[in-house]
Amino acid sequence: MAPHAEIEVAGFTDTSSVVKVEVNDSAQTKISGMTPARPVFTIDDVLPHRQKSKPPPTIVAAFSDANMFKSKGCLEGKPKAKSFAHRLTAESKSRKPSSLKGAMKYFKQGTISLCGGLPSSEYFPFEELSAKIPTAPEFTEAQTATSGKSYSSGKHDATRDGKALLDLSIALNYGQSMGPGALIRFLTEHTEIVHSPPYSDWDICMTSGSTSALDVALRMFTERGQYVLTEEYTFSSAIETVVPLWAKMLGVKMDADGMLPDDLDNILSNWDEKARRAPKPFLVYTVPTGQNPTASTQSLQRRKQIYAVAEKHDLFILEDEPYYFLQMDPFVSGHTHAVSSPFEPVSVADFLSNLVPSYLSIDTSGRVLRLDSFSKIIAPGSRAGWVTGAPQVIERFMRHNEVSAQTPSGFSLIALYNLLEENWGHKGFLEWLMFIRAEYTRRRDIIVNACEEHLPSEVCSWVPPKAGMFHWIHVDLTRHPVYKAKGGKQIDVASLLEIEDSVFTSCAEQGVLIAKGSWFRAQKATDTELFFRTTFAAAPADKMREAIEKVGVAIRKEFEIDIEDEIVVKGSTNGHAK
Ligand code: PLP
């Protein structure tokens, strides 16, 4: 891994993530009143647009797609996506539409269906499902307990009573693989508001979460013997999904801003099929924001550079973004950002304009498949998310979905529909995202401050995360007794893994679990440096501090550091300042 950028400790405003008008400029142009460079769609446009458009269908297993709900500005005046059919695997190309699901297009009011095995909803033992949810912006658990709203979904709210767009009779039955129309409409509007893709014919398919979506996507684009390009350290499940496809991950060098475009270009420009015994790769799997495990976050400039390499080498990008909305204010040593109580959301325009634009928002060709998930922003057990991309790619994705997960669970669908569509709306949802972003910022501050206090600064360094849920800690192997015993020669992989395991076990013996960096290494057994991943997502503040203190004990023990002799390096000279 390339050296990280210098630690940022000053309390400055990080403007690298501010959206400029040339890209996803909706918020900026609305604020400044400039003539938009291209049509924009904001939360204020949702209602008038809905009033002029057809509502989502309210029959069981109805078809829908994003085009049914897009604004005029999106549908007109933008080019169409290019074809990426040449990148699809034989498996993906060979998929035929599901005969049974396809038959539903002949279904209209009054049709008597003796076709699909869709049970009658009278045999669903759920007349009503209720839940209590926070009322925006009173989002805390305590506030929800007192001021939360209880709602209930009935079996026939949509189909018989016409008072909703989704009910239990629809959600709990089989549905089309893209998901129910009411949610496709919400997600289409969300996509326009947040990403405003530069081409017109993008489509959406709901997924059973990004793990499942990634499995589908990798099978769509990866033949046996191919390489998939990714960050040097990457999401372990992605590696574990690629391996059984008889394919391999190839790690591209990275720094705190993620994948290095020059290295990506270099690998591709100098690809030697014979030496590598593999065709030139074209699939890039990347986690651009709050990357798992390194927390690296690609700036807009970095994304544009990588996209330019993708255009040059005709790559296809899988943009896996579960942490996209958890983009934080910069860390300031010794300071913990407080979450205002009552929570005061900023304006939606401000929130959106401070997010680093997505690949989807700069994708002029349609070479990006974006994976979104409700896991980290609503609940992992929802097993729900969505993918957005070029129509041809989404069509192939749906063919796969039809014969695998089909749709997220109907219980999730009805809960998400009620939360997002009936209660929060786009504003409430975005305010919720602001709230959890503030919560994770506070938690990030707690863990990083604890590291400053408890980890030996001569061997441990890090870059404070700018997004996500992870804190990635580098431990300097050259300070290990084995390195000294070897006369300063590079520590071999086996010894590195032993040292890593020893720290891991010593933490576990003290009742603390951390993740080994080697688990995330894109190419196994090529490690040259020692890292540990910690998460600030789960433990309460005092437990996080206690755990980091114990990690410090484990590292000191392994590196034979006597706490008495330690040079205490704090604040601006901590971490990566060497
Ligand atoms: N992608 C990345 C980068 C992740 O870090 C995770 C979860 O840790 C996932 C996907 C899994 O998402 P889901 O719960 O939607 O399957």
The 10 Å Cβ neighbour count of residue 204 is 27
CA–chain centroid gap for 147, Å, is: 30
pLDDT at residue number 32: 40
From ligand 1's centre to the CA of 568, what distance in Å?
37
pLDDT at residue number 486: 87
pTM listed for this prediction: 0.92
Angle between helices 493-509 and 541-558 (to 10 degrees): 130
Residues β-bridged to residue 387: 205, 371
| Percent of the residues in the chain that have a pLDDT greater than 70, as a whole number | 91
- The DSSP-derived string for 185-212 is HHHHHHHHHHT--SSS--EEEEES-HHH
The finding on whether 251 has its CB within 6 A of some atom of ligand 1 is: no
Best of 370, 376, 409 to mutate for ligand 1, by most ligand atoms within 8 A of CB? 376
- Strands of 224-331, DSSP E: 227-231, 248-252, 254-255, 258-259, 283-286, 316-320
Backbone conformation region of residue 100, classed left if phi is above 0, alpha if psi is from -120 to 50, else beta: alpha
Residue 233's SS3 state is strand
From ligand 1's centre to the CA of 64, what distance in Å?
26
Best of 237, 326, 533, 536 to mutate for ligand 1, by most ligand atoms within 8 A of CB? 237
The continuous run of DSSP H or E covering 149 comes out as: strand 149-154
pLDDT at residue number 39: 58
Atom of ligand 1 nearest to the CA of 238: 1
Atom of ligand 1 nearest to the CA of 235: 3
Q: From residue 82, how far is each of 67, 69, 236, 353, 368 by CA, in Å?
A: 17, 22, 31, 28, 11
pLDDT at residue number 429: 98
pLDDT at residue number 323: 98
Q: What mean pLDDT is predicted for residues 513-536?
A: 97
Q: Is the pLDDT of residue 17 over 50?
A: no
The finding on whether 208 has its CB within 6 A of some atom of ligand 1 is: no
Do 245 and 303 touch, CB atoms closer than 8 A? no
Average pLDDT of the residues of the chain: 91
State the pLDDT confidence band at 568, using cuts at 50, 70 and 90. low
State the pLDDT confidence band at 109, using cuts at 50, 70 and 90. confident
Atom of ligand 1 nearest to the CA of 376: 14
The finding on whether 322 has its CB within 6 A of some atom of ligand 1 is: yes
CA 77/CA 260 separation, integer angstroms: 34
Fill in the amino acid letter for 351.
Answer: F
How buried is residue 144: exposed, middle or buried, by Cβ count under 10 Å (0-12/13-18/19+)? middle
Q: Which residue has the tokens 């496809």?
A: 245
The finding on whether 209 has its CB within 6 A of some atom of ligand 1 is: yes
Nearest CA to ligand 1 atom 14: 375
The finding on whether 385 has its CB within 6 A of some atom of ligand 1 is: yes
Nearest CA to ligand 1 atom 12: 210
pLDDT at residue number 25: 40
Q: Render pLDDT for 332-343 as a digit per residue (tens, 0 to 9).
A: 999 999 999 889
From ligand 1's centre to the CA of 216, what distance in Å?
14
CA 417/CA 152 separation, integer angstroms: 12
Q: The dihedral of CA 444, 449, 453, 457: what is its sign?
A: positive
pLDDT at residue number 349: 95
Nearest to residue 482, comparing CAs of 473, 491, 474? 491
Atom of ligand 1 nearest to the CA of 374: 15
CA 564/CA 562 separation, integer angstroms: 5
Residue 535's SS3 state is strand
Q: Is the pLDDT of residue 227 over 70?
A: yes
- The token duo for 210 is 């990004």
**Dihedral through CA 493, CA 499, CA 505, CA 510, nearest 10?**
-150
CA 141/CA 419 separation, integer angstroms: 16
The finding on whether 210 has its CB within 6 A of some atom of ligand 1 is: yes
The finding on whether 230 has its CB within 6 A of some atom of ligand 1 is: no
Best of 207, 370, 375 to mutate for ligand 1, by most ligand atoms within 8 A of CB? 375
State the pLDDT confidence band at 113, using cuts at 50, 70 and 90. confident
How buried is residue 538: exposed, middle or buried, by Cβ count under 10 Å (0-12/13-18/19+)? exposed
Q: From residue 118, how far is each of 175, 185, 233, 288 by CA, in Å?
A: 9, 24, 45, 41
Atom of ligand 1 nearest to the CA of 380: 14
- Give phi and psi for 337, each to the nearest 5: -60, 130
Residue 187's SS3 state is helix
Q: Is the pLDDT of residue 457 over 90?
A: yes
Please compute, for residue 403, the number of CA atoms within 13 A of its CA located in the half-sphere on the CB side.
Answer: 12
Fill in the amino acid letter for 479.
Answer: R
The finding on whether 320 has its CB within 6 A of some atom of ligand 1 is: yes
pLDDT at residue number 10: 35
From ligand 1's centre to the CA of 381, what distance in Å?
12
From ligand 1's centre to the CA of 250, what distance in Å?
20
State the pLDDT confidence band at 9, using cuts at 50, 70 and 90. very low
pLDDT at residue number 18: 32
Q: What mean pLDDT is predicted for residues 494-510?
A: 97
Q: Render pLDDT for 278-292 as a digit per residue (tens, 0 to 9).
A: 999 999 999 999 999
CA 242/CA 119 separation, integer angstroms: 37
Q: Render pLDDT for 172-198 as a digit per residue (tens, 0 to 9).
A: 999 999 999 999 999 999 999 999 999
pLDDT at residue number 562: 85
From ligand 1's centre to the CA of 210, what distance in Å?
6
From ligand 1's centre to the CA of 51, what distance in Å?
36
pLDDT at residue number 16: 35
CA 327/CA 297 separation, integer angstroms: 9
Atom of ligand 1 nearest to the CA of 287: 3
Q: Is the pLDDT of residue 324 over 90?
A: yes
Do 545 and 446 touch, CB atoms closer than 8 A? yes
Q: Is the pLDDT of residue 410 over 80?
A: yes
